Structure 1
């Protein structure tokens, strides 16, 4: 699994226009961006993340190749749509089981969660376009190949996506301290599990959109678990309850 690097204004422009998935674009930080105005317009229109960086950062990624101040990172795998994930569940005759990740920025955590998602029978994973790890080689390695089997949707607005999933009949369970013990919660039926970022947990609007908050019981002095560990335990509790039906 490789993340393709595309450099040069024309090449990056054509990549964006092609509709192929792009993780992010780096643009040389300079006064005014007149010569990059067309690219910036396309990036904003397509909702592709971009960042202004120093020229030395661009040089690091292009190994001496001329980049003209613009470098794009094309996704190693095409992203799905939330509707695609629901369709997979329908085709299997199963209630949807979806994992939503709210700003999981560590690629190793994302990879580990994808690996467990595949093992636990999750139909797909949804991540935000900003402030989140994307499908990079590091994610592929950590997932032990699961990234090739678990559909991943990348959306601009997680709150709107959760509302859409609720309209489609899913119950949304957000994982955070202080909620209902997962071993006492009813986790059967069409289910979306939301795992928050490594440091700050669920965002306020995400939390308010959830139908319920569930928590892992903690008996020691440490008050929280790594996001990928907590998410894995919750996914398997959902699977355990499903297997009882």
Structure 2
């Protein structure tokens, strides 16, 4: 009781304070971070999902020996897995989520994998599939595609000569869309070509998307990988093979170039930038495709098909 009287008497003495917490609480905490960095914000969740997707889809290719192998690839999602199996994309493993909700796509994936043979089936819990795919929406199905075994550029010409034929090869310079690569592989196969050469860096590789676009032609037409495309083209030139580059300002038209009837490498650049400077300087001929309709350029798959048709016509 006495203690209470002292506290209320108004006499000076030791008192309990805030320890400076109130003063510090009034101080500013710096500028507000952007929405993408604020945990719980919608934009933060979107940015996190994009980062996961980028990590999951980035494939770094590594070379071994003369040709080389890329890294294995995961095809995720029920529709994507079924389409890959329908198109004959090489696969080594089909992961199926435990206690998966069965539907037509799941049943078809299991049936196709069983019919093809060589594809192992593995049941896995959902957390494991989430970890494998870095959180992508796999819908309970994940298809593992083994690394593609690339040929060496010299092997393509050697195989043609072994068959008693003049080499007909397409090289891609700066083409980064796997679907364009698949379309070129399909055209090379259709017109009797002997293979496709792609650079090791900044270029599309033989992914599952390229396999699907090739519509099975990738199983018959080899793709070679060159550490340096310019050097590979110079090697072809030393072997007596003409290098023909496609360019909008080419000095020749496709229909007038007799070199297409002999041993030739057709070089196709990207739709936007065309041929790079060094590759363009390496070419023996620069040809253009006449387009009276006024279209400025064609994508790599269509352009390669036009020139391959002319080469096949001259050879026949």
TM-score w.r.t. the length of structure 2 is: 0.56
Indicate whether 1:207 and 2:280 are aligned: yes
Compared CA separation, residues 218 and 181, structure 1 to 2 (3 A): same
- For these two proteins, the number of residue pairs brought into alignment is 188
Hey, what does 1:181 align to over in structure 2?
A: 253
Indicate whether 1:192 and 2:246 are aligned: no
CA RMSD of aligned residues (A): 2.5
Any residues of structure 2 matched to 1:1-245 within 5 Å, and which?
21-23=69-71, 63-65=130-132, 76-179=147-250, 180-186=252-258, 187-243=260-316
Moved over 3 A (4+): 15-20, 73-76
Deviation at 1:65, TM superposition (A): 4.4
Contact 1:126 1:152 in 2 (8 A): yes
Q: After superposing the two structures, state which structure 1 stretch, 159-168 or 84-93, moved more.
A: 84-93
Q: Distance in 1 between matches of 2:268 and 2:63?
A: 33
Contact 2:63 2:70 in 1 (8 A): no
Select the structure of larger CA radius of gyration: 2
Q: Distance in 2 between matches of 1:212 and 1:18?
A: 33
Any idea what SS the aligned residue of 2:154 has? helix
TM-score w.r.t. the length of structure 1 is: 0.71
Deviation at 1:24, TM superposition (A): 9.1
Deviation at 1:76, TM superposition (A): 3.6
Compared CA separation, residues 156 and 24, structure 1 to 2 (3 A): farther
Deviation at 1:152, TM superposition (A): 0.7
Larger RCO: 1 or 2 (CA < 8 Å, sep 6+)? 1
Deviation at 1:225, TM superposition (A): 1.4
